[in-house]
Amino acid sequence: MRGCFFGLFLVAAIVVFLGAVAFALLAPAPGLPPQFTPVAVSTAAAGRFDTKIATVQAATGPTTIAINEEEATSRLVALLATEANAPKIDRPQIAFRNGRVYLSGTSNDTPIPIGFVITGRVEAVEGKPKIVIENVEAGRFPVSGALRSQVDTLVAEQERLLGEQPIYVTEVQVLDGKLVVTGRPR
């Protein structure tokens, strides 16, 4: 009789352990924090992004533009769709809050899709925007080398494209809902 209770206890302990492991591994991936609302993606918003950059390029002196989350997200989606080496990311979203830039999405370059949130800031360095990564979250999993490599590739590509623009950036501010950039033609 005593062995029967011990056997039942052992089975129950294994079930609880497996349930805890499943919860830890299958918990939902991070997304945008609750105060961030996903924005719609459109070619019109990506076009507004390009038009604002062209405004600075055509200016005769320092000019300030404000890029909102819809425009930044739409331009990122267009970039990911056209660049051959770009990482495969579903539902990317960019949010500007509290002096930080948040990028979220789902990476499909891994065997199992992994949701992520990247937190960083943008600075003006030597006339170019510089992206500084502060944190990378990927659910309950540690950030893998493959995901971190994707992040580094994405940041390097963004910096390369921004650096190729004929704009000398003098100031960058991240405000709630928008990125404010002051610059002049090179």
**How does pLDDT run across 32-71, given as a tens digit for each residue?**
555 678 899 999 999 999 999 899 889 999 999 999 999 9
Contact between 174 and 121 (Cβ < 8 Å): yes
Q: Are residues 4 and 37 in the same domain?
A: no
Asked whether residue 88 falls in the same domain as residue 14, the answer is no
pLDDT at res. 89: 84
Residues 144 and 68 in one domain: yes
Give residue 111's pLDDT band: very low, low, confident or very high (50, 70, 90): confident
| Full domain range(s) for residue 70 | 31-185
Number of domains into which the chain is organized: 2
Q: In terms of domains, do 128 and 147 share one?
A: yes
| Rounded (5°) CA angle 7-9-12 | 110
135 and 88 in a common domain: yes
| 135 and 163 together in one domain | yes
Q: How far apart (Å, rounded) are the C-alpha atoms in residues 143 and 116?
A: 9
Q: What predicted TM-score, i.e. pTM, was given to this entire model?
A: 0.74
Residues 22 and 88 in one domain: no
Q: What is the pLDDT of residue 143?
A: 65
Query: In this structure, are 96 and 10 located in the same domain?
Result: no
